[in-house]
Each structure stands twice: as structure tokens, then as C-alpha cells.
Amino acid sequence: MTTFVELTRFKVAPDQIEGLLAARPAMLRDFRTDREGFLDARLVRLPDEEWLDIVEWRSQDDFTASRAKGANLPGIAAFFAAIAEVVGDEQGTLADPERGR
């Protein structure tokens, strides 16, 4: 199985960090219940008010379908609302032989 990976780098204002982190569990629950092919996500805090969200999908089609839904549920909307600016967005396939994918 090939895992599709979405990498989104974004900025969060210092006064929105608490809200971002508080919204994360509900966003993940919404993804698990509403997004076909969602596998996992990891949030990484970077320097200079930047963050990296690493999201794994079963396929590129699942990722594309998720993108089309946007912030359609409250948990997803709350998480997205805390983001001040998207800095970069890339996609690829997981190439880590240790993970068996």
C-alpha cells in the first residue's frame, strides 16, 4: 500500500496557539469520522510562529476529496480559524521502508 502524504506549513499568531492546540483533538475526530482514507496526522511546532502538519492519506483521491470538503465540521473549522497564513503546501508518497509502505 502506498500512503499519500500532505505537508502543510503555516503560521499561527502567538495569541492563537492555545486555540489551535485546543481545537486539534476535535479536528482529528472530525477527520476520522468524515474523511474517507484519513490515516494519521502529526503536528510539529517550528521556529518563528510556524507549524507543520503532516497528514497521511490512503490515496491521493482521498486527499483530494477531503480538500473539496474544506472546513465542513466545527472541529475542522475551529482548527483552520486559528491559522493566520499558509506558508507552503506539498504532497507526496511515503517512502519509509521501516513503516512497510
0.95 exceeded by the pTM? Answer: no
Please answer whether residues 10 and 84 qualify as being in contact, where contact means their C-beta atoms are separated by less than 8 angstroms.
Answer: yes
The rounded Cα 7 to chain-centroid distance in angstroms is: 7
Q: What is the CATH number of the domain that holds 30?
A: 3.30.70.100
As for how many domains the chain has, the answer is 1
Q: What three-state secondary structure class fits 96?
A: coil
Instruction: Note the pLDDT of residue 37.
Output: 97
Residue 45: inside a domain = yes
Instruction: Note the pLDDT of residue 99.
Output: 64
Residues 71 and 47: their CA atoms lie apart, in Å, by 26
Query: Could you list the residue range(s) of the whole structural domain that residue 20 is in?
Result: 4-93
Residue 93's DSSP bridge partners are: 4
Q: What string of pLDDT tens digits covers the 101 residues of the chain?
A: 689 999 999 999 999 999 999 999 999 999 999 999 999 999 999 999 999 999 999 999 999 999 999 999 999 999 999 999 999 999 999 887 676 44
